[in-house]
Amino acid sequence: MYELKNGVLYKDGKAQMCLGLSYYPSYHPKKFPVRPEDDRIGGLKQDIHDMAEAGFNLVRFAALGDLKRNGPGAEGIEVSFPLIDECMKATEEADIAAQVRLQGYTLNVSGHEGEGMITSEGRELGMYECFLRASLNHEGIVEDTADCTDASARHFMDDPTLVSYQIFNEPAYHYGVDYNPHSIAAYRKWLVAKGIKTEEEARELEPPRRRPQQTMDPKGGVSDDHTEWMNWRLFHYERLNAYLCEMSQVARKANPKAENMTCLMNCPMTADTMMLGEDYYRTAEGMEVLAITHYIPVFGEQNYEATKILDAAESAAAVYGKHAWLVEYNARTNMPANQWDLETYAAIGAGYKGIMYYQWRADYPFPDGPEPDEFGILFNDRSKTAAYHHAVKMNKLINEKLSEPIALSEKYRAGVAVLYSEQANALCDALEGSNRHISNGMQVAYTEFRKAGVPVDFVRACDLEANPLGVKLLILPAGEKYYPAEELDAVKAFVKQGGMIVERMETGGFAPVDLDGVHLRLMELPDGNGGYHYGLSPVKSRGLHGYLQERNSAAEVLERAGIAPVFTVDGAPRLDVRVLEGNGYHMACLANIDTQERSIEAGKTLVLRCGAQGAKKVTFYTPDEELSLAFEVKEGQLCITLPEIKLGGFILIEE
């Protein structure tokens, strides 16, 4: 029996790493592995059996079929999913868990008219232009979607292999915000509820149809046009994430045994944040699991873009004591074989408890299909891709040796985090046409501190008081003018409690920050015994000594903050190391991201500073080998002599 508990997959009460795949996951009329006129039932039975044989333990479907309204409420929805019912039977026969996506492009079962999203030019979106096609503020559509979600969830609730529902898929505003009259009416109510406008002011207000043309005043002023654009963006931003969580709660109420997730794209940490509207934190708060899509290769310098997305989503989940999953992880049919290993090391090292690669078998190659024969570890004709054998060997290693330790461990944190702000994103979007300035700042800060040997989290200002991630050092990716007063107040309170902040400089490096004349630099403080120690103090800046300079490297900032690198490997700059910690063990996940694919020669010393000084046994695992490694503890550091590192590997440290 499979079940999910706080985002961890269990089979017969034993925790295991979820290694899943997608199969019939799409509602698009030309995205499926077997044509309707062919042997769909025979094909799906063979495919699901083969998935289990290859070591996968979960498969994701979509609730493909028919929904009709025959009466009021969820009880009035008639559902029919014969194909997916057969898929569910096959998962039971193969002893593999299942997740079902509950919503397609629209659930307009009542025949509402004028329900589609409308672009700023006045064009209604076509059926397959966007995963969320219908307006999220059309009361009839909201009711239909909730009722269909309830009915669909109840339909699958007694399937013994079902552990989770997916709420929509990549639910972003691909074509900008929605100018449907229902959304404009809801926006006016939102402005009043927020205290931004009076009822009289909001009654006839029209939302802006384009970004403001002017730029920020050099003195820091922001025009009314900028404010109106920010309000319009933030309204949709809040509504999208609230809508997803509302539908998750509908499914959860219908079937409390299933834990739910959506499948967010990587846009919350890119230059498209406000345009696309998805937010990791708001969704993590309202769902049992935070899940994302991820197609960025783990390779070379791009590794830091790929792992930034992984760490950002995991941070948001961890703020609420939850876990992150990958609902779609890169498995292109043309993907180099070594990428399977590297991507798996990266995801597990970031603390993910579920990986669903996209997908098992590629879509039928219709000439005009959206993704013909493009994604899968099998081509549509079932011939094997270059990654197939890597996938099977990696699954075997994890399932037989490491599944439970991975499932029950957590990402090791060093207290270093980058500030994330939806308000700053909205302002940057209004001023500059995207949030690229903020996005680039987050990327640079993340990359430099990761290269300095520490894991990096992302955190909002509102999370600093409770500080669930144990942040000691906070990096502002942009200047203070981008952040609202309440966020700056939270940052100042963080410093008064002993935290340290630095700002990413556009010219390179990191600088101390001065807010309202309160200087937040590290400085020498009297220790009470006639000497000095380094500490933090919010005092006037003039006349101090021993503080950070105007521009500092990440390594210098860490040294001043008293945060040691979690790992170092001299002579191997392209070896990336991520650390997990469990009860009585640590695990280091290694990825060789060298673009020339050169092995790292044996004999290098990996130094870990993560509380693993009580090591009794250190074992190195790859899909091809298992080696006992020599190690010693020196000055509170665990020093491990590494073997040759080809693509990477797992090091299990038993204590």
Q: How many residues does the chain have?
A: 655
User: Per-residue pLDDT for 535 more than 70?
Assistant: no
Amino acid 404: pLDDT: 98
Question: Could you tell me if residue 253 is inside a domain?
Answer: yes
In this prediction, residues 550-576 reach a mean pLDDT of 91
Amino acid 212: pLDDT: 77
> 158-174, pLDDT tens digit by residue?
999 999 999 999 998 87
Give the dihedral of Cα atoms 164, 165, 170, 176; nearest 10 deg.
-140
Residues 447 and 475 in one domain: yes
Question: Could you tell me if residue 221 is inside a domain?
Answer: no
Residues 446 and 402 in one domain: no
Percent of the chain with pLDDT over 70: 92
Residues 545 and 432 in one domain: yes
Structure confidence at residue 176 as a pLDDT band (50, 70, 90): confident
User: Per-residue pLDDT for 240 more than 80?
Assistant: yes
In this prediction, residues 636-645 reach a mean pLDDT of 96
Q: Which residues are CB-contacts of 120 (< 8 A; sequence separation ≥ 6)? A: 176, 177, 179, 209, 210
Rounded Cα distance between 616 and 624, Å, is 24
> 371-411, pLDDT tens digit by residue?
999 999 999 999 999 999 999 999 999 999 999 999 999 99
Question: Could you tell me if residue 183 is inside a domain?
Answer: no
Amino acid 534: pLDDT: 37
In this prediction, residues 30-54 reach a mean pLDDT of 97
Structure confidence at residue 519 as a pLDDT band (50, 70, 90): very low
Answer with the residue of higher pLDDT: 174 or 304: 304
In this prediction, residues 256-268 reach a mean pLDDT of 91
Q: Show the domain range for 264.
A: 2-174+241-409
CB of 221 closer than 8 Å to CB of 417:
no
Amino acid 523: pLDDT: 39
Question: Could you tell me if residue 228 is inside a domain?
Answer: no
User: Per-residue pLDDT for 99 more than 70?
Assistant: yes
Residues 276 and 377 in one domain: yes
> 323-356, pLDDT tens digit by residue?
999 999 999 999 999 999 999 999 999 999 999 9
Rounded Cα distance between 96 and 411, Å, is 27
* Number of structural domains found in the chain: 3
CB of 548 closer than 8 Å to CB of 502:
yes
Percent of the chain with pLDDT over 90: 79
Residues 391 and 524 in one domain: no
Residues 640 and 547 in one domain: no
User: Per-residue pLDDT for 95 more than 90?
Assistant: yes
Look up the CATH number of the domain holding residue 404: 3.20.20.80
- Both tokens of 27, joined, read 């509602």
Number of H helices, E strands in the chain: 16, 32
Structure confidence at residue 152 as a pLDDT band (50, 70, 90): very high
Residues 261 and 370 in one domain: yes
Amino acid 222: pLDDT: 54
User: Per-residue pLDDT for 520 more than 60?
Assistant: no
Structure confidence at residue 434 as a pLDDT band (50, 70, 90): confident
Residues 395 and 540 in one domain: no
Amino acid 435: pLDDT: 80
Residues 51 and 134 in one domain: yes
SS (H, E, C) 380-404: CCCCECCCHHHHHHHHHHHHHHHHH
Structure confidence at residue 276 as a pLDDT band (50, 70, 90): confident
CA 118 to chain centre: 28
Final residue of a domain: which of 506, 540, 561?
A: 561
In this prediction, residues 120-145 reach a mean pLDDT of 93
Residues 639 and 555 in one domain: no
CB of 599 closer than 8 Å to CB of 570:
no
Residues 340 and 256 in one domain: yes
User: Per-residue pLDDT for 260 more than 90?
Assistant: yes
From 274, 346, 276, select the one nearest 305 (Cα to Cα): 346
Mean model confidence pLDDT for the chain: 91
User: Per-residue pLDDT for 5 more than 50?
Assistant: yes
Rg (CA), the chain: 26
Amino acid 345: pLDDT: 98
Final residue of a domain: which of 380, 409, 438?
A: 409
Distances (CA, A) of 41 to 37, 102, 228, 401: 11, 21, 54, 34
- Both tokens of 533, joined, read 């120690």
Question: Could you tell me if residue 463 is inside a domain?
Answer: yes
Amino acid 205: pLDDT: 94
Final residue of a domain: which of 542, 561, 580?
A: 561
Amino acid 546: pLDDT: 39
* Cα angle value 579/15/320 (rounded, 5°): 60
Answer with the residue of higher pLDDT: 553 or 85: 85
Look up the CATH number of the domain holding residue 645: 2.60.40.1180
Amino acid 516: pLDDT: 59
Rounded Cα distance between 72 and 78, Å, is 11
Amino acid 429: pLDDT: 85
CB of 501 closer than 8 Å to CB of 548:
no
Residues 396 and 433 in one domain: no
Rounded Cα distance between 647 and 643, Å, is 12
Question: Could you tell me if residue 205 is inside a domain?
Answer: no
In this prediction, residues 568-584 reach a mean pLDDT of 95
CB of 650 closer than 8 Å to CB of 620:
yes
Query: Strands 97-101, 58-62: parallel, antiparallel or unpaired by DSSP?
Result: parallel
| Lowest mean per-residue pLDDT among 326-340, 430-444, 559-573 | 430-444
User: Per-residue pLDDT for 540 more than 70?
Assistant: no
DSSP-derived 3-state class of residue 224: helix
In this prediction, residues 77-95 reach a mean pLDDT of 98
| Lowest mean per-residue pLDDT among 19-23, 171-175, 192-196, 468-472 | 171-175
Question: Could you tell me if residue 458 is inside a domain?
Answer: yes
Question: Could you tell me if residue 185 is inside a domain?
Answer: no
- Both tokens of 374, joined, read 């493009």
